[in-house]
């Protein structure tokens, strides 16, 4: 049997040890910052990002090949995320519970408050290099949690600009340590007992591995999925087609809640399919810095070759390409495939590319059964005017979020966000992450 690797401090003297030491030593000071000071810093960060919005957007597009209009949208969301966290920083509240509910509690009161758990380690992906970082950093600032940040290697520049803004806004430098480290050293930080929180966004394989070595930390994992949508026979088909085309292919499908599996009620399948193909044809492919581009090249050659292989597998298994299907270097055409068997990777795994499958189903019950047949459970969408179907979906679909009359790719930065099954554990969204980063402390007072 392999020896158990226990959670422990790093050997002194290395870069990783220095990061862990500086962050942990900053905890006492930042955890005691008053809420008004934390709120002021967060508001300042939001304003500074807004003032440099175009610089951030173009930097994101250059680093990770995100279409410029999507990069601008991401920056605007990050501005909101920090601004909302500034407001939430003033609302870290507790409870007062009278204990005279039983005779032994007469004359006593219980008071609760939320206290920061300790220093955090944040590991973030390439696809939203500003706003997904913001969803970890902003709640940390709101509750007084220092952190180390390991950004995706493709997006180090965006992370560095954000950390510089944090320092300029008054957040202590040692309480926001960059950790652009090789994998072995990053894993050593995951094991290090000086970190009380690990928040990771990325692939399921990596996320569950990190959880297995994280020891006693509070672990939050946002791991993606192969999101599904159901278009019922009473849906607004034009709206559903327009949103599904965008939701499946924006940022080349490199979004964890990208619409990947499309199920359509049999009576409206021909009409919806035709409309969807028309909407897909309207998408513009090209360079990320082109103002008109909807679908840009994917992140690297390995991703392009993998997606091409998955498309070929689906074709060989009987899938019919209705749109796209071709690759030119790193650029894949927006691809829609009909009749993909459930054993194929495009049906069972996370594509993380501009590829979606479509299938007719004989009604709501079968749609929900097929949507549930996934090891992932992040978000799902349903287009219908039938309230009964909506409530059934909310009961039956094993997902963290159900989006009604829109695509699973919809997310408000204020709402709780996270998945079940292999899509992860814990919740993001500013207030909900603040709860994850803190713990309840109770005090009982006798008169």
Look at residue 2 and tell me whether its pLDDT is greater than 60.
no
Helices marked H in 342-423 — which ranges?
A: 345-348, 364-372, 387-396
- Mean pLDDT to the nearest integer, 90-94: 92
For the stretch 48-58, pLDDT in tens is 999 999 999 99
Q: Give which of 56, 64, 61, 59 is closest to 352, Cα–Cα.
A: 64
pLDDT tens digit string along 391-402? 999 999 999 999
Q: What is the CATH architecture assignment of 228-404? A: 3-Layer(aba) Sandwich (3.40)
The answer on pLDDT for 10 being more than 80 is: no
Residues of the chain with CATH 3.40.309.10: 228-404
Round the average pLDDT of the chain to a whole number and report it.
Answer: 96
75-104 mean pLDDT: 96
Instruction: Quote the pLDDT of residue 9.
Output: 60
Q: Which strands, in side-by-side order, build the sheet including 379-383?
A: 320-323, 335-338, 355-361, 261-265, 228-231, 379-383, 401-404
- Element housing 264 (H / E): strand 261-265
Which of 3-7, 112-116, 140-144, 326-330 has the weakest average pLDDT? 3-7
Question: In the numeric block, which tokens belong to residue 148?
Answer: 């180390």
Q: What is the rounded (10 degree) CA torsion for 181, 55, 66, 43?
A: 70
Active-site residues: which are they?
222, 256
pLDDT-derived band at 14 (thresholds 50, 70, 90) equals: confident
Tens of pLDDT along 288-344? 999 999 999 999 999 999 999 999 999 999 999 999 999 999 999 999 999 999 999
Positions of CATH 3.40.605.10 in the chain: 15-223+423-446
Q: According to CATH, what is the number of the domain 15-223+423-446?
A: 3.40.605.10
Give tens-digit pLDDT for 189-205.
999 999 999 999 999 99
- What percent of the chain is predicted at pLDDT more than 70? 97
Does residue 360 carry a pLDDT above 50? yes
């Amino acid at each position: 049997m392999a020896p158990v690797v226990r959670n422990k401090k790093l050997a002194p003297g290395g870069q990783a040890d220095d990061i862990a030491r500086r962050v942990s030593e900053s905890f006492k000071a930042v955890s005691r910052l008053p809420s008004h000071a934390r709120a002021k810093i967060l508001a300042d960060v939001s304003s500074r990002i807004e003032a440099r919005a175009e610089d951030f957007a173009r930097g994101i597009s250059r680093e990770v090949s995100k279409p410029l209009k999507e990069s601008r949208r991401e920056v605007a969301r990050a501005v909101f995320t920090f601004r909302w966290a500034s407001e939430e920083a003033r609302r870290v509240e507790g409870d007062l519970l009278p204990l005279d509910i039983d005779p032994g509690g007469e004359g006593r009161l219980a008071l609760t408050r939320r206290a920061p758990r300790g220093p955090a380690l944040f590991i973030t992906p390439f696809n939203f290099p500003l706003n997904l970082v913001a969803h970890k950093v902003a709640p940390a600032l709101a509750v007084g949690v220092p952190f180390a940040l390991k950004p995706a290697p493709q997006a180090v520049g965006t992370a560095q600009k954000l950390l510089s803004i944090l320092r300029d806004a008054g957040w202590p430098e040692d309480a926001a340590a960059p950790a652009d480290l090789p994998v072995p050293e990053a894993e050593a930080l995951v094991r290090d007992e000086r970190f009380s929180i690990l928040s990771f966004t990325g692939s399921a394989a990596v996320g569950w591995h990190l959880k297995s070595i994280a020891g006693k930390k509070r672990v939050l994992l946002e791991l993606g999925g192969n999101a599904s949508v159901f278009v019922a026979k009473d849906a607004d088909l034009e709206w559903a087609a327009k949103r599904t085309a965008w939701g499946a292919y924006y940022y080349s499908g490199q979004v964890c809640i990208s619409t990947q599996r499309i199920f359509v009620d049999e009576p409206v399948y021909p009409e919806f399919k035709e409309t969807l193909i028309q909407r897909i044809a309207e998408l513009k492919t090209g360079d990320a810095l082109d103002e008109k581009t909807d679908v840009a090249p994917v992140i690297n050659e390995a991703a392009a070759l993998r997606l091409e292989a998955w498309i070929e597998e689906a074709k060989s298994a009987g899938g019919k390409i209705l749109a796209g299907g071709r690759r030119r270097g790193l650029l894949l055409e927006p691809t829609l495939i009909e009749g993909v068997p459930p054993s194929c990777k495009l049906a069972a795994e996370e594509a993380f590319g501009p590829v979606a499958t479509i299938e007719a189903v004989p009604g709501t019950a079968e749609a929900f059964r097929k949507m549930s047949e996934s090891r992932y459970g992040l978000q799902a969408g349903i287009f219908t005017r039938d309230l009964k179907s909506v409530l059934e979906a909310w009961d039956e679909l094993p997902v963290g979020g159900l989006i009604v009359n829109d695509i699973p790719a919809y997310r408000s930065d204020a709402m709780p966000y996270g998945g079940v099954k292999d899509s992860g554990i814990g919740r993001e969204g500013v207030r909900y992450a603040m709860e994850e980063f803190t713990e309840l402390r109770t005090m009982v007072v006798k008169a």
